[in-house]
Amino acid sequence: MKLRNKILLKQIERLAPQKDIEEWEPLFHAIDRVYEQLHTEVRLLEEIANKMVDDMTDANKNLERINESLDGFNYHVSHDLKSRFMNTQSLVMILKKYINKPGQEDKVAEICEKLEWNSEKAIETVNEFLEISRLDYEDEEKRVEPCKLIDCISNQVESINGLQKKHIKLDLDAFDEIYFDKTSLNSVLRNVLTNAIKYKKEDREPEIEIKTSFNFDHPVIMIRDHGIGLDTEKLKNELFKPFHRFKNSKFTEGNGVGLFLIRKTMESGGGSVSIYGKENEGVTLSLKFKKDAVR
């Protein structure tokens, strides 16, 4: 008698004479099939349980990552905002000395301008960290929509101080529309173009090239400036770390989250970012999107 369950077969051979086994063979086969079905179900349940454990492990790791990020973000937000508020408080105290005094109108105007700038930087700090928190919790895939690149770039020209249309050379021949979350795409472009203005060479106007192309069917937006540049080979392990300000830069303002936010935004939408640059030769960022981002 052939049974798949070897334990059942041994028990039958031990307890029953051979002649009786033949009479009960149909029943034994039925029991054997039940054992086999139970074995299959147990194996499936084990696979489901293992998958649930893996999912829970991944979820816990994700929660740990978010909590670590939030701890770091909370510290830096608190530190940066505290600095802004202390600066504002100092400026207000200085303003009180000059306000309503004859002949001090220029000094009052200068202090008010500094207060306005300081307030803008505080709002910029809050907005950057809100954007990081949004990317941790929202599903970018649900908000994909067609984005006209010329419109997104024009929005940045209108909103970024010091950036003008004449500073940008466009080559959108490969594609001029991308399917992505519009808020996220504008955030990426704003960070890239703001950096291009911040790190321009002092003796020349900003010069920015924006070109579209394809890399193994993946749409790519290449953005190159001709500013003071970075040695990306030396800094490759630090480029996308949050709260990192590069020592070779004359520009020290900012929260050090620009490149980190660019990468995080691109990856949340299924893309990636790479950067190449040399000192005094500018920086090139390549924004690589999913294959179906151009339709």
What is the arithmetic mean of pLDDT over 180-204? 88
pLDDT at 189: 92
Contact by Cβ (8 Å): 91, 114: yes
Closest among 84, 89, 91, 90 to 108, alpha carbons compared: 91
Contact by Cβ (8 Å): 5, 34: no
Helix runs in the chain, H state only: 6-15, 18-23, 25-98, 105-137, 149-159, 182-198, 258-268
pLDDT digit string (tens) for 218-260? 999 999 998 888 888 887 777 777 666 655 555 445 556 778 8
pLDDT digit string (tens) for 97-107? 888 888 888 88
CA distance from start to end of the chain: 63
pLDDT at 71: 58
Q: Tell me which of 204 and 126 has the higher pLDDT.
A: 204
- Which of 4-18, 55-69, 241-255 ranks highest by mean pLDDT? 55-69
Q: What angle do CA 183, 187, 191 make, to 5 degrees?
A: 170
Phi, psi of 240 (to 5 degrees): -105, 15
pLDDT digit string (tens) for 76-120? 566 667 777 787 888 888 888 888 888 888 888 888 888 887 787
pTM above 0.85, yes or no: no
Q: Identify the burial level of 15 via C-beta atoms within 10 angstroms of its C-beta, where 0-12 means exposed, 13-18 middle and 19 or more buried.
A: exposed
Residue with tokens 């996220």: 184
Rounded Cα distance, 274 and 295, in Å: 23
Report how far Cα 259 is from the mean position of its chain's Cα atoms: 9
